[in-house]
Chain A
Amino acid sequence: MIGRGFPKAPRSYICPSCSRSFKLQSRRHATAASPDVYDVVCVGGGPAGLSLLTALRSSKATSHLRLALIESQDLERARTWNLPPDQFSYRTSSLTPSSLSFLSQIGAWPNVDTSRVQPYRHMRVWDGLSSNSRISFDALTSEPPIASMTENQNLSRALITSLDDLPIISLFDKTSVADIHLGPPLSFPAESPTSLDLSSYPHVTLSSNHTIAARLLVGADGVNSPVRTFAGISTRGWDYDRHGVVATLKLPPGTGHSRENPQRVTAYQRFLPSGPIAFLALPGDYATLVWTTTPPQATRLKALSTEDFVAMVNAAFRLDVVDLNYMFTLDSGQVDELEWRESVHPGNKADLGGETPQHIASVQEGSIASFPLRLRHASTYTTNRVALIGDAAHTIHPLAGQGLNMGLADSRSLASAVEHAVLHGADIGNEIACLDRYNEEMWMSNNRMLGAVDKLHWLYSATSGPVVGLRGLGLRTVDALGPVKGWFMRQAGAL
Chain B
Amino acid sequence: MVIRPTTSRNLSRLLRIPTQCRSSSQSSSVNAAEVSHFNNLASTWWDPYGSSRLLHQMNPLRHDFISSCIESQPDPTSSTNRRYLDVGCGGGIFAESAARLLWTKSVVGVDPSSQVISVAKAHARQDPLLLEPGRLEYQNKAVEDLPIPRIPEEQFDVVSLFEVIEHINRPAPFLSSCLPFVKPGGWLILSTIARTWTSWLTTNVVAEEVVRLVPRGTHDWSKYINEQELRRFFRAQDGWGRDGGLKSQGCMYMPAVGWRMVPGGEKWGNYFLGVRKDSTRS
Contact = CB atoms under 8 A, between A and B. Distances in A.
16 contacts: A15-B102, A18-B135, A22-B129, A22-B131, A25-B128, A26-B128, A194-B131, A197-B126, A198-B126, A423-B101, A424-B60, A425-B63, A425-B96, A425-B99, A433-B97, A436-B48
A196 B121 contact: no
Contacts of A431: 48
A194 B53 contact: no
B53 A432 contact: yes
A18 B136 CA distance: 12
B100 interface: yes
B201 to A, nearest CB: 27
A196 B131 contact: yes
Given A422-B102, A433-B97, 13 more contacts: A14-B128, A14-B132, A18-B129, A25-B128, A186-B125, A194-B125, A422-B100, A425-B96, A426-B60, A427-B100, A427-B126, A432-B57, A433-B60
B127 interface: yes
Interface in B78-108: 96-102, 104
A26 to B, nearest CB: 8
A491 B104 CA distance: 43
Interface of B: 48, 53, 56-57, 59-60, 63-64, 96-102, 104, 121-122, 125-129, 131-133, 135
Contact of B100 (A17, A193, A425, A436): A425
A195 interface: yes
Nearest to B134: A21
B61 to A, nearest CB: 9
Nearest to B121: A193
Nearest to B46: A430
A73 to B, nearest CB: 31
Taking chain B's interface residues, is the majority helix, strand, or loop, or is none over half, making it mixed?
A: helix
Interface in A419-450: 420, 422-427, 430-433, 436
A326 interface: no
Contacts of B98: 425
A200 B102 CA distance: 23
Contacts of B125: 186, 193-197
A425 B97 contact: yes
A420 B135 contact: no
Contacts of B64: 424
Nearest to A383: B48
Interface in A189-232: 193-201, 215
A37 B129 CA distance: 11
A413 B63 CA distance: 21
A240 to B, nearest CB: 33
A254 to B, nearest CB: 57
Given A432-B48, A433-B56, A22 B128 contact: yes
A246 B125 CA distance: 52
Contacts of B122: 188, 193, 197
A298 B158 CA distance: 67
A17 B104 CA distance: 13
A430 B57 CA distance: 11
B119 to A, nearest CB: 12
A109 interface: no
A384 B48 contact: yes
Given A196-B125, A198-B126, A384-B48, A18 B97 contact: no
A58 to B, nearest CB: 17
> Sorted from nearest, which 4 A-B pairs have the closest CB atoms?
A425-B97, A18-B132, A22-B128, A197-B125
A384 B49 CA distance: 12
Interface in A379-434: 384, 420, 422-427, 430-433
B122 to A, nearest CB: 7
Nearest to B123: A197
A102 interface: no
A137 interface: no
Given A22-B129, A425-B98, A433-B97, A420 B48 contact: no
A198 B100 CA distance: 17
B126 A25 contact: no
Contact of B126 (A13, A21, A200, A424): A200
A1 B126 CA distance: 29
Contact of B133 (A21, A426, A432): A21
Contacts of B63: 423-425
B90 to A, nearest CB: 15
A432 B56 contact: yes
A26 B125 CA distance: 12
Contacts of B133: 21
Given A425-B101, A426-B100, A430-B48, A25 B131 contact: yes
Contact of B128 (A37, A426, A433): A37
A426 B59 contact: yes
Contacts of A22: 128-129, 131-132
A254 B280 CA distance: 79
A25 B63 CA distance: 29
Contacts of B96: 425, 427
A427 B125 CA distance: 12
A170 B143 CA distance: 45
Interface string A13-54: 111011001100110000000000100000000000000000
Contacts of A384: 48
Contacts of A13: 129
A215 B127 CA distance: 9
Contacts of A15: 102, 129
Nearest to A186: B125
A478 B92 CA distance: 56
B168 to A, nearest CB: 26
Contact of A420 (B60, B99, B121): B60
Nearest to B135: A18
A14 B127 CA distance: 9
A21 B133 CA distance: 7
B129 A14 contact: yes
Nearest to B257: A440
A436 B102 CA distance: 23
A21 B48 contact: no
Given A425-B97, A425-B100, A425-B101, A433 B129 contact: no
Contacts of A424: 59-60, 63-64, 97
Given A425-B96, A425-B99, A425-B100, A18 B60 contact: no
Contacts of A196: 125-126, 128, 131
A15 B104 CA distance: 12
A186 B64 CA distance: 35
A64 B129 CA distance: 13
A387 to B, nearest CB: 14
